[in-house]
Amino acid sequence: MEASARGRRRRRPQGGSAATSSGVLAFVGLLAGCTLVGTAPRAPRSVPKAPPEAAEGPARPLPPPTFPGAALPWDHLASGFPVGWSETGVASWYGHPYHGRPTASGEIYDQEAPTAAHRLLPFGTRLRVENLDNGRTAQLTVNDRGPFVEGRILDVSRRMARELDLLGPGTARVRLTVLETPGPPRACWFLMAGVFEGEREARIHLERLAAEGLPGRVQNSLDGKVRVWAGPFRTLEEVRRAHEGYGGMVVGC
């Protein structure tokens, strides 16, 4: 699953931590097309279809990279994440108001389904998730994008949160392991290039990116934040160059 577009997502995490990941559903709009600069994305999880005029607000700094420095798994972005690939980090969960909304994959989010959001793993990837705080495990399928909160690697459904005992604490340290892959990865990525309090500042940043040759869009999220997404990028070289130049979070289409 603000580390957290394709208006998937951002919301506040259930259980007490600040705005969780995912923007997951909200990210659908980004994944679903290639709208150019200045156009509004289709509305998945965190974007209202007709957002009201946003109040102006101070710009927030660019979020740090999804992975520190060269640690972002570039090789796997190109070749795929093999069975047995593992990642350790913090997981959170999401439920309402995203239940019944489209996810980034196009599926309707069901908080009682065994699913999760991840920023990079292909949709359809089957995972084993272990809660390192209590030893509980669960198996689930990636069908959404997120989390968009720095330091988190996975956003699980409410059902999976119950199984992993995440409902109360809201977050936990987990280890995820790939059990099954859906096939070759899709060569398509976005870069979350900024998070702002108001739409005006976000659009100013979007114009700056456009002046430097980066197409993008503005996304109003259900958590009240306005995100600027650059892309889509169709080659690994393009997204890597953008990431190195602007920081931000690399998110799969």
In a domain, 30, yes or no: yes
Contact in structure between 220 and 84 (CB atoms under 8 Å): no
143 within domain boundaries: yes
CATH number of the domain that 74 lies in? 2.40.40.10
Q: Label residue 211 exposed, middle or buried (CB < 10 Å: 0-12, 13-18, 19+).
A: exposed
Q: Is residue 176 part of a domain?
A: yes
* Helices within the chain (DSSP H only): 28-31, 74-79, 158-164, 199-211, 236-246
Q: What is the pLDDT of residue 78?
A: 83
- The answer to whether position 4 is within a domain reads no
> For position 56, what pLDDT does the model report?
35
pLDDT of res. 11: 41
Cβ neighbours of 25 (radius 10 Å): 38
Is position 2 within any domain?
A: no
Express each pLDDT in 26-78 by its tens digit: 444 444 333 333 333 333 443 223 233 333 334 444 444 344 434 688 888 88
Nearest to 240 by CA among 32, 78, 87, 80: 78
Name the domain count of the chain: 1
Q: What is the mean pLDDT of each run of 10 residues along the chain (253 residues)?
A: 38 40 45 34 34 36 41 84 96 93 95 97 97 97 94 96 96 97 91 93 94 93 89 94 92 94
Predicted confidence at residue 71, as pLDDT, reads: 63
Global pTM?
A: 0.75
Domain with 135, as residue range(s), is: 25-252
Ramachandran quadrant class, 45 (left: phi over 0; alpha: psi -120 to 50; beta: rest): alpha
Sequential DSSP letters for 26-90: GGHHHHT----TTPPPP--TT--SSPPPPPP-PBPPPPPPSSSGGGS-HHHHHH---TT-EEEEE
Which residues does 55 contact at the CB level (< 8 Å), separation at least 6? 197, 198
Give me the phi and psi of 64, to 5 degrees please.
-70, 165
- Residue 91 falls inside a structural domain: yes
Backbone φ, ψ for residue 248 (5° rounding): 85, -170
17 occurs within a structural domain: no
The edge-to-edge listing of strands for the beta sheet with 216-220 is 216-220, 226-233, 189-196, 249-252
Q: Residue 213: left (phi > 0), alpha (psi -120 to 50), or beta?
A: left
Is 9 among the domain residues?
no
The confidence score (pLDDT) of residue 47 equals 28
Q: Which is nearest to 170 in space by CA: 11, 8, 5?
A: 11
